[in-house]
Amino acid sequence: MKEKQIALITGASGGLGRELALALRKHDPALECWLAGRQPDKLKETAACIGGPVRCLTLDFSDRAWPEKWQEVLKEEQPAITWLINNAGFGYTGPFAEEPFSQVLDLASVDFTAPVCLLSLCLPYMKKGARILNVSSVAAFLPLPQMALYSAAKAGLLQFSQALAGELEKQGIQVTALCPYWIGDTGFIRRLSPHTPINLRGSLSAKEVACRGIRGALQGKTIVTPGFLASFIRIGCALLPLSLLLKIRKYWKT
């Protein structure tokens, strides 16, 4: 029996995940997209938007039992995973010391541990020509006070992506880390902005970020920083001391 060619997109309930699915569908209309997320109704909306062969999978990375459930799906389906897009994630603002432990555990699990574990489970089903796209953030370059754990998780995911890219190069599997600046039209920003004012000057839309992310992965880039500000932060963090960059960021927020 011929292996099923699929693309797995996590966090596909809306926002950037939905736009990544749309951008991927435009690139390969025949590819079967597996949309994973916590909200079945939202996943169905994404499925209706992208059309074509699609499957919706309810997957909550804060549920400690998710790896076992996912292993069962893989063993049953035996898919050929040609794209794995790790987009699921969330963030919050505030002093780390004041955050409840349950929230700390969930963020560390969803933003870093889950994509790493998902990759471990999916790699046996990936062959030469497959692509992995991990959604990180410019916070991976510039650690954000009041978002300490989020910054650390995204930095870890970036470092992991770069190291894995070197490991999988001989196998012909491409690994890309997508590191955007703020994306103004997603639920992520709406959840943060009531608590912390966010300057969205220079931000891109989810559609723009998704298109640049997919294009960068197809071009074989290991890191994609979409837009001027994301690229500026990446270069600035490589050249300037962190203390100066944090002062610039504080000014930019005003």
Q: Is 44 a catalytic residue?
A: no
The pTM of the full predicted model, rounded to 2 decimals, is 0.91
Predicted local distance difference test score (pLDDT) of residue 194: 52
**Which residues touch 51 (CB under 8 Å, ≥6 apart)?**
25
pLDDT at 70 (0 to 100): 95
CA distance 167 to 172: 10
Q: Where are the domains of the chain?
A: 5-253
pLDDT at 200 (0 to 100): 61
Tell me what pLDDT residue 25 has: 95
For each successive 10 residues of the chain (254 residues), what is the average pLDDT?
83 95 94 96 96 94 93 94 96 91 95 97 97 97 91 98 97 98 70 56 86 98 95 88 72 54
Question: What's the 3-state SS for 153-171?
Answer: HHHHHHHHHHHHHHHHHHH
Dist CA 251 CA 192 (whole Å): 19
Query: What's the pLDDT at 4?
Result: 74
pLDDT score of 150: 96
The pLDDT, as a whole number, for residue 87 is 97
Active site residue 154: yes
Q: Which of 42, 154, 181, 221 is catalytic?
A: 154
Q: What is the CATH number of domain 5-253?
A: 3.40.50.720
- Set 150, 181, 207, 250: catalytic member: 150
* Structure confidence by residue, pLDDT tens digits, 163-207: 999 999 999 999 999 999 988 766 665 566 455 555 566 678 999
